[in-house]
Chain A
Amino acid sequence: MKIEFRNVTFKYEDDCDLLTDISFVINSGEMTSIIGPNGSGKSTITKLIMGILTPLSGEIYINNTLVTEDNINDFRCQMGIIFQNPDNQFVGLTVKDDIAFGLENKQIERNEMITLIDKYSKLVHMNNFLNHNPENLSGGQKQRVAIAGVLAMETEMVIFDEATSMLDPIGVDEINKTLKMLKKQASKTIISITHNIEEILYSDNVLVINNGTIVAQGKPKDILFNESLLNEAGLDTIETVKLINKLSDSKYESIVSDLWTLTFNM
């Protein structure tokens, strides 16, 4: 699923601009991270892609087709979204019921549903919890169930809207592992919206947003090395990069290259 923003501007009535003249392309099958501090307009981009909001000016193209109010529903059923709060998106009374929720809406036959639930609960390592209640699960586990529920619908695109921001470190780790595995196994378009710099490491493309504009766009490595730009956007680069910067002397070359491998092939 290819998504293209052309000079999109958005604001709520009588408010200052939330997004100003934004243009970018998200290619099909790629993983794109959108990073920025709180209130920078990241979530507004998701809402624009999902068609919950419509731009004030500019156009959004999905698969080279201009998005209008008439065709947004056709696109929307090809998008899955995982929200911030794992509790507020758990619909079913058990894990199994919750993964089935979207499938029931899609009117998928029962037997096929069982196969899909089995497949995707295994993918997120929740297959031993199928009959558990949400109260007995940790935040990370609940979020993994939400991911399985979205993946089971087999949409072309999955959006993670700050899916890790309400989790403890273990939960964050669980979700990031799932994301990495997803990127390897499934040829889905993934958009990850985050304010955690470490989460951009394994994406193909990164958009840095600040005050409603795109301040940088590129490969994660290039973004991470641009420390001053990240600082300007209220973000900080990862510790390894800081260390590498400090060590960039010829005699530490081998250590630096080792650190690189460690960071980007993790």
Chain B
Amino acid sequence: MNKIAFGQFVNTNSIIHKMDARIKIIGTILFMITIFLVPTNNFYLLGALLVFALILILLTKVQLSKYLKSLKSIVFLLVFAFVFQVIFRNNGTVIYIHYFKFTWNNIVVASFIAAIYLLIRKYLPMKFIFFVLTTVLIIYILGLPMHGAILNQNTIKLSIYEEGLISGSFIILRVLTLILFTTILTLTTKPTELNNAIESLLKPLELLHIKTSVFAMMVSIALRFIPTLFLEADKILKAQASRGVDFNEGNLKAKVVQIISLLVPMFVVSFKKADELAIAMEARGYIPGEKRTKLNEMKLQFSDFIWLFIFVGIFTTYILLRIL
């Protein structure tokens, strides 16, 4: 834990990187809305957005693996949503019916496979694929017309409807496009730039006497101190471990005690750090809410206006398509 990179910024200095961060944020928000403006099960309109996202991805010159990595974390969610859509949609045309037959033979074989999977799971590469394969195998075996005493008189029928498959795929595609757009933003924008952009975009709120500069300073200090606090937590963990606290073992009660033994010193350290930082900031003339000049000034280039024009253009097209 000696190097914690906050944010996923990858510098390739592409035209997307050079785009003003404010335009990127506005673009991402517009696309998020656009994705949800696409009428349900209209694959053409959603596909067009996905193609646009892919074009932007090519323009960023960031390796594709970085994008796949960000998708990896939501694979479970996607599969879950898909399976639910497939199981619980029951209108339209039936394309496949699966009968679960709970005979003793089936149950024993299926449990045996499940047990083997659970035993060797630790050593498997690509765990997810094996999980899916095992699940499919178990479902298949449970459908086999084997002989043996029937546990339950009724077999359970699972019907898969065309509707379910279509809406399941649509949901996957929708979330996928959404994640790709936000990943483009986070991969091509430094946290500092993001923060400055948010401060700049929130500026109109100052008319309502909300001090956005204080908010931006808070965010920037939080960004600055996350890695420092991680290191601090690591130090405390090691200090506690060297005095015999085992963070991996123990029942729930022991776990709670362990977490408290981490949290209490963490709080003390954080408050001390905050106190010292406040004095240091004050000593350097910081007065919250007071006017300050900025080293990182954001200036819109001509190309930024072109991008904004494209983003707003796509947004309005989708609104018009929705209305008409």
Residues of A whose CB lies within 8 Å of any CB of B are 50, 52, 76-77, 79-81, 83, 85, 87-94, 96-97, 100-110, 113-114, 117, 133-135, 149-150, 153
Contacts and interface: CB of A to CB of B under 8 A. Distances in A.
A91 B221 contact: yes
A88 B280 contact: yes
Contacts of B291: 107
30 contacts: A79-B283, A80-B283, A83-B276, A83-B279, A85-B276, A87-B228, A88-B273, A89-B277, A89-B280, A90-B224, A91-B280, A93-B191, A93-B220, A96-B295, A101-B286, A103-B293, A104-B293, A104-B294, A105-B287, A106-B285, A107-B291, A110-B294, A110-B295, A113-B295, A114-B295, A134-B224, A134-B228, A135-B231, A149-B284, A150-B284
B241 to A, nearest CB: 23
Nearest to A102: B284
Contacts of B155: none
B192 A97 contact: yes
Nearest to A112: B293
A83 B281 CA distance: 11
B273 A92 contact: no
Given A104-B294, A109-B293, A93 B273 contact: no
B281 A91 contact: yes
B322 interface: no
A110 B299 CA distance: 13
A97 B292 contact: no
A248 to B, nearest CB: 45
B284 A88 contact: no
A93 to B, nearest CB: 5
Interface of B: 3-4, 191-192, 220-221, 223-224, 227-228, 231, 273, 276-277, 279-281, 283-287, 290-297
The CB with the most chain B CB atoms within 10 A, among A101, A107, A113, is that of A101
A141 to B, nearest CB: 15
Nearest to B220: A93
A6 to B, nearest CB: 25
Nearest to A79: B283
A104 to B, nearest CB: 4
A65 B220 CA distance: 39
A191 to B, nearest CB: 14
Contacts of A114: 295
A108 B293 contact: yes
Nearest to A77: B285
A105 B171 CA distance: 49
A102 B276 contact: no
A153 B285 contact: yes
A140 B181 CA distance: 41
Most B CB contacts (10 A, CB to CB) among A93, A107, A150 go to: A93
Contacts of A109: 293
Contacts of A103: 293, 295
A107 B283 contact: no
A34 B287 CA distance: 30
Given A85-B276, A96-B295, A50 B228 contact: no
Contacts of B281: 91, 101
A81 B283 contact: yes
A149 B280 CA distance: 11
Contacts of A149: 284
Given A110-B297, A113-B295, A89 B276 contact: yes
Given A80-B283, A97-B192, A105 B292 contact: yes
A91 B277 contact: yes
B293 to A, nearest CB: 5
Nearest to B4: A135
A83 B283 CA distance: 10
Contacts of B191: 93
